[in-house]
Each structure stands twice: as C-alpha cells, then as structure tokens.
Amino acid sequence: MPLPGCSQLPAAPASPTRIHTPAPLPDPLDAITNASVAIEDASAIVRQEGGARFGYEVRFLLRETGGHSGATVQKIIVYGPDGSDETGPGCWGASLRVPPGGALETFYTDAGQYWLAYCAPGSGGPVRTPSLTIGVTFTDDDGRVGEVRSNIDRLR
C-alpha cells in the first residue's frame, strides 16, 4: 500500500537545467597534534588538456616546524572549481613522512611528481586561472590526526 502523498511521481521538468555550485570546503580537523606541519611555496602548474579543460598540477613543500614529532601524510585533497580530488598512500604504495624539524620535498620537485605519477595531487576544471586550496591530513608520531590547509595563489 503506498504511503499518503507518495502515490504519484513528480512531473519531470520541461527541460533539464544544470546548476554548478562548487562544493564548500569542509572545516579543517580541530585536533591537537605534536607535529606542527606547514605548507610552503604552494603553486600550481596549469596545463590545457584539450578543448576548454585544464589540469592543475599542484606543487608544495611540507615542513614540520615544531621539532617535537614527525608527521606521516594520510591524504591530500585539492579543492578546485569542479569539486575536489583526493590522493593518499593507498595510491602511492609508500608511506611519506616529514621528520621532526625537517621537510618533505616529494610534492615539490619534478622527481617527486615523476615518482608519484598519476597519484600526484592535482585537479582539473574549465578555468585557466582557478582558485585552488590544498588540504593535507597527517598523523603525528603518537597517532594523533591533524590537518593543514593553504590557498594556492601562484599559478605557473
């Protein structure tokens, strides 16, 4: 027996309409970790992929600034004009760690991008000069989860 008000399907619109609204950025994690991670020198290389599509290859240096704990990268999310794209150790096949007081250059160098291959962080969209944000989720050496974010203002 149908439920009251559910016996008829709504009429389809006369013509389909697509509204594109970028997904809002979720709030960063509010955890206290022993690692103080910073994203430095964030940039994106913009490449035309054909037609009106562009690829955004992000580059950044991760630095642990506190010197008390290392940080192991759990995931990287790039927020772009068409939503977000995520990558992590499941794709990399390796653990990437920032040592206490040190830096991780894997996401910054050509050699690192070559090693990461299709698992390198990036995004795509219809805009030549996109507004991009990068989020890095990490665990400190005691297993506490933290996150750091940065806008990418420099395009190459």
* Contacting residues for 73 by C-beta, under 8 A, at least 6 apart: 62, 88, 89, 95, 96, 97, 98, 104, 136, 137, 138
Q: What is the mean pLDDT of residues 10-24?
A: 40
CA 30, 38, 152, 46 dihedral sign is negative
* pLDDT value at 99 more than 50: yes
- Over the stretch 45-93, which tens digit does the pLDDT of each residue have? 999 988 889 999 999 999 999 999 999 999 999 999 888 999 999 999 9
Q: Side chain identity at 103, as an amino acid letter?
A: A
Domain ranges of the chain: 37-155
Coil, helix or strand at residue 148: strand
* pLDDT value at 112 more than 90: yes
Predicted confidence band of residue 31 (pLDDT cuts 50, 70, 90): low
* Contacting residues for 72 by C-beta, under 8 A, at least 6 apart: 95, 96, 97, 98, 138, 139
CATH topology of domain 37-155: Immunoglobulin-like (2.60.40)
Q: Number of helices (H) and strands (E), helices first, in the chain?
A: 2, 10
Two tokens at 150? 């940065």
Three-state helix/strand/coil letters over 43-89: EEEEEEEECCEEEEEEEEEEEECCCCCCEEEEEEEEEECCEEEEECH
Rounded to 5 degrees, φ, ψ at 48 are: -75, 130
What's the first-to-final CA gap in the chain, in angstroms? 61
Q: What is the mean pLDDT of residues 97-119?
A: 95
